[in-house]
């Protein structure tokens, strides 16, 4: 696998590259590991819930800001659907 050229990867190379990214997934973060093992305090879980809630309710506004600056009509149409999916 040569990363210095534009030669397409084979299916096996693509899969290897994709699987190589797994170590960066949030499920492997020490906090999530402790949470999934039931080792966090009630207060720590409450903090996580509050943070997660704020993150989720902010997605439609973030997407709307992206949409407002997008010059491509087709892309805007797709983003509008994304906002509706998240915001209802």
**CA-to-CA distance for 15 and 11, rounded, in angstroms?**
6
In a domain, 1, yes or no: no
- Residue 88 is given by DSSP the state -
Q: What is the pLDDT of residue 2?
A: 54
pLDDT, one tens digit per residue, over 50-78 is 999 999 999 899 989 989 999 999 999 88
In a domain, 2, yes or no: no
pLDDT, one tens digit per residue, over 7-31 is 999 999 999 999 999 999 988 999 9
Name the residue range of residue 54's domain: 41-88
Q: How many CA atoms does the CB half-sphere of 58 hold within 13 Å?
A: 6
Q: How many domains would you assign to the chain? A: 2
Consecutive H or E run containing 14: helix 11-20
Note whether 36 and 47 are same-domain residues: no
Note whether 55 and 81 are same-domain residues: yes
In a domain, 88, yes or no: yes
Note whether 26 and 46 are same-domain residues: no
């Amino acid at each position: 696998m040569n990363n210095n050229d534009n030669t397409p990867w084979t299916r096996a190379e693509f899969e290897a590259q994709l699987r190589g990214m797994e170590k960066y997934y949030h499920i492997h973060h020490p906090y999530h590991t402790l949470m999934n093992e039931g080792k966090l305090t009630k207060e720590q879980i409450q903090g996580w819930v509050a943070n997660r809630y704020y993150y989720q309710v902010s997605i439609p506004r973030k997407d709307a800001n992206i949409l407002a600056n997008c010059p491509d009509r087709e892309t805007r149409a797709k983003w509008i659907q994304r906002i509706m999916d998240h915001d209802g």
